[in-house]
Amino acid sequence: MTDSTSKIDLIGLSREQLAAEMTAIGEKPFRAKQLWHWLYNRGETDFFKMSSISKTMQAALDERYTVGRPLVERDLISVDTTRKWLLKFPDGNEAETVYIPDEGEARGAVCISSQVGCTLTCKFCHTGTQLLVRNLTSAEIVGQFLVARDSYGEWPTPDDSTRLLSNIVMMGMGEPLYNFDNVATALKILMDGDGIGISKRRVTLSTSGVVPMMKRCGEELGVNLAISLHAVTDEVRDRIMPINKKYPLKELMAACRDYPGASNARRITFEYIMLKGINDSLVDARQLLKLVKGLPAKFNLIPFNPWPGSEFECSDMKIVRAFSDFLQDNGYSAPIRKSRGQDILAACGQLRSESQRQKQSRMAARIAAGIPDDHAV
């Protein structure tokens, strides 16, 4: 019998790869379509429960393959019903996934991570203080959504009008465009109409501005684009978002203008975190309008979520409202994002912070007790 650790995980394989695996075990390519339905429409993980597949094939699949899921280390639900999963992968690394319900509606978005840690070191983001460990695989990215589906029992795939997990936002840990191949494979699986079937119009990918990859993202995926902007001058953006030194505002805004599919019906969202005395004046608001002139744009204003050691403070809400009102008076949608899941550290910029802090505390305690570093976890 094949050792389970050497089995091939079918989750995360493209349709073409799945068909190739069926050919490898002597099955016809159409078997891949049957299997796809069981994996992504029914959410089945046990080959022997896939009733439309022969018992001989079930045994062959079980011998060679597995249907993986990340291990749920922690499952936390906020007082506002936001839900966060701390997920562990086979190599021991972790990432976090969050379900953010829409207020007053029986639907919401799953916020998915693309990397373990982050390479961007944005100064206002607690997640950015955690060094990049590695990219997540397509299986690990898809697996995050599958865990959410499992948790809410949303199998088989429901009609769009009755979905609880209705949207996907690539806004978790990491920069999606620095892991584009795996992210693209995963999103194509999640958007496939024969399986999970999330419409591309309900998928938003957020980038800090990896300019060379933006056009390819639009051409290959056609998803909604969100830009983590957060400043209106290169001087300020260089300070709070080091990626701006590589791709300054002029290049970033040109890439936005070239983004395939952007229109008044599918506006680019510009995310803007409100930092007291840094980027929150009406002068900044006027410059913001100049930056996006001619673009199909909308804004998402984000009150800063403070964290220990941060050099920033959140703008006063009076200032945030004035900023929002100015943008809206000039014809732009500019809602103030309500912070969700703060009590479970699931809010913007807080992902994996608690897990990292606990590990560091345990390590410090071990070192204080004289236990060598190689025992620290």
Alpha carbons 356 and 116: distance in angstroms, whole number: 11
Tokens of 136: 């997540």
Q: For the chain, list the domains and their CATH numbers.
A: 4-66 (1.10.150.530), 71-358 (3.20.20.70)
Q: What is the pLDDT along the chain (377 residues), one digit of tens a residue?
A: 455 668 999 999 999 999 999 999 999 989 999 999 999 999 999 999 999 999 999 999 999 999 999 999 999 998 988 999 999 999 999 999 999 999 878 899 999 999 998 888 888 887 777 789 999 999 999 999 999 999 999 999 999 889 999 999 999 999 999 999 999 999 999 999 999 999 999 999 999 999 999 999 999 999 999 999 999 999 999 999 999 999 999 999 999 999 999 999 999 999 999 999 999 999 999 999 999 999 999 999 999 988 778 889 999 999 999 999 999 999 999 999 876 656 656 555 555 544 555 555 554 445 455 554 443 33
Alpha carbons 54 and 227: distance in angstroms, whole number: 48
Q: Are 94 and 200 in contact (CB under 8 A)?
A: no
Residues carrying an active site annotation: 96, 348
Among the listed residues 64, 314, 17, 43, the one whose alpha carbon sits nearest the alpha carbon of residue 196: 43
Alpha carbons 47 and 70: distance in angstroms, whole number: 18
Alpha carbons 49 and 185: distance in angstroms, whole number: 27
Name the pTM for this structure: 0.90
Q: Are 41 and 33 in contact (CB under 8 A)?
A: no
- Nearest 5°: the CA angle 172, 269, 343 is 40
Q: Are 225 and 262 in contact (CB under 8 A)?
A: yes
